[in-house]
Amino acid sequence: MAKYRIAVIPGDGIGKEVMDEGIRVLEVAGARYGIEFQWDHFDWSCELYKQTGRMMPEDGLDQIADHDAIFLGAVGFPGVPDHVSLWGLLIPIRRHFRQYINLRPVRLLHGVFSPLANRSPGEIDFYIVRENNEGEYSEIGGRLYAGTDEEVAVQESIFTRKGVDRALKYAFELAQQRHRKHVTSATKSNGIIHTMPYWDERFEEMAKAYPDVTTDKFHIDILTAHFVRNPDWFDVVVGSNLFGDILSDLGPAATGTIGIAPSANLNPEKEYPSMFEPVHGSAPDIAGKGIANPIGQIWSGAMMLDHLGETDAARLVERAFETVLAESEVRTPDMGGNATTQEFGYAIAESAARMSL
């Protein structure tokens, strides 16, 4: 029997609500495929910060380093500044464990309404490959002349050859495995005159090694417009840390709701644990109401199973939520239904339990 140790960090707000449903569905899939999970819970959160002045203990990263994977809900809540909570927990995990790819699928599912007119499943089905360790997210910079009329804030961006190339390489290799074999690069080399022309150069260089993959590139501004008007153009979209972040809220919104969007923070070499979490945040506006959509967490669980090599169990989890959406009215309010987080989670777990293998 395969056994995995998973570090569970529910975090803040709805992270704590959707995590229960993610675990519930993975338990069912695990039981059907002879997989045992050891769920080790860590209460790292803004609440912990308020008690201890830290988002996680000083040796927190060591505590989770030997786990097979990290399953995270969401981090950040009013009361603790976002740059403090995120740079105290989520971002250190991504960086310390060299999770340099953030893989975010965007897929219109059967039974789900897209806010885009006349779009059906199959027409929106692509991956965003987001560089996850450097780029616009950097600690280099600072403030000068605080509180005066001359006040300045400076924020540097870091694009290393190694960091850019490994993200591009991942995107091309992913495209090679897909039917359309197409990579789109998100750029802004008309306005950002150092880093983005460099990104373009590396993209063109990398493309030469993959003659079977077709390419195009768009500046980020018009690319957001194409996501809305022409989502069927995309197969694999590769972008820097910030561009990938923005595109990965827009893409899922075009497929109905950000509440279903999953993500995998990957260390592809598997030298360190990878982390699986929904794309969405802690949603303070609905936290505590029990109405958060759990699919983002559940689908992230499927990506975790894939990463662990449990591909049959991963497909079972995906088929379970696809079936509930396609064949029932059960869904949370963000998808036009009136189910609670738990009711939706139970329906998906039951679907996973009944599904023919």
**Residue number with CB closer to ligand NAD (18 or 236):** 18
Shortest Cβ 324–ligand IPM spacing (Å): 25
Long-range Cβ contacts of 196-205 (<8 Å, 24+ apart): 198/159, 198/164, 199/159, 199/164, 199/240, 202/161, 202/164, 202/165, 202/168, 203/168, 203/238
**Residue number with CB closer to ligand IPM (90 or 116):** 90
Q: Which of 112, 196, 279, 314 binds ligand IPM (CB under 6 A)?
A: 279
**What is the radius of gyration, based on Cα positions, of the chain?**
20
DSSP classification of residue 284: T
Which of Mn ion, ligand IPM, ligand NAD, none does 285 bind, CB closer than 5 to 8 A by kind?
A: ligand NAD
What are the helix (H) ranges across 177-328? 195-208, 220-229, 241-254, 295-307, 311-327
**Residue number with CB closer to ligand IPM (71 or 210):** 71
Of 316-335, binders to ligand NAD (CB under 6 A) are 332, 334
Q: How many residues bind ligand IPM (CB under 6 A)?
A: 6
Q: Does 70 bind ligand NAD (CB under 6 A)?
A: no
Nearest Cα to Cα of residue 187 among 145, 148, 219, 227:
219
Q: Give the CB-nearest residue to ligand IPM.
A: 86
CA atoms of 26 and 36, how far apart (whole Å): 10
Q: Which of 292, 316, 324, 348 binds ligand NAD (CB under 6 A)?
A: 292
Residue 238 has φ and ψ, to the nearest 5°, of: -110, 135
Task: Give the x/- contact pattern for ligand IPM in 238-277, rule: CB under 6 A.
Answer: -------x--------------------------------
The CA-based angle 170-172-276, given to 5 degrees, is 35
Shortest Cβ 96–ligand IPM spacing (Å): 15
Chain CA centroid to CA 268, Å = 15
**Residue number with CB closer to ligand NAD (301 or 310):** 301
Which of Mn ion, ligand IPM, ligand NAD, none does 327 bind, CB closer than 5 to 8 A by kind?
A: none
Within the chain, strands assigned E span: 2-11, 35-41, 69-74, 101-107, 125-131, 141-144, 152-155, 182-187, 214-219, 236-239, 262-266, 274-278
Q: Which of 125, 245, 318, 334 binds Mn ion (CB under 5 A)?
A: 245
**Residue number with CB closer to ligand IPM (4 or 227):** 227
SS3 157: coil
Of 148-167, binders to ligand IPM (CB under 6 A) are none
Q: Does 86 bind ligand IPM (CB under 6 A)?
A: yes
**Residue number with CB closer to ligand NAD (76 or 163):** 76
Binding residues for ligand IPM, rule: CB under 6 A, are 76, 86, 90, 245, 279, 281
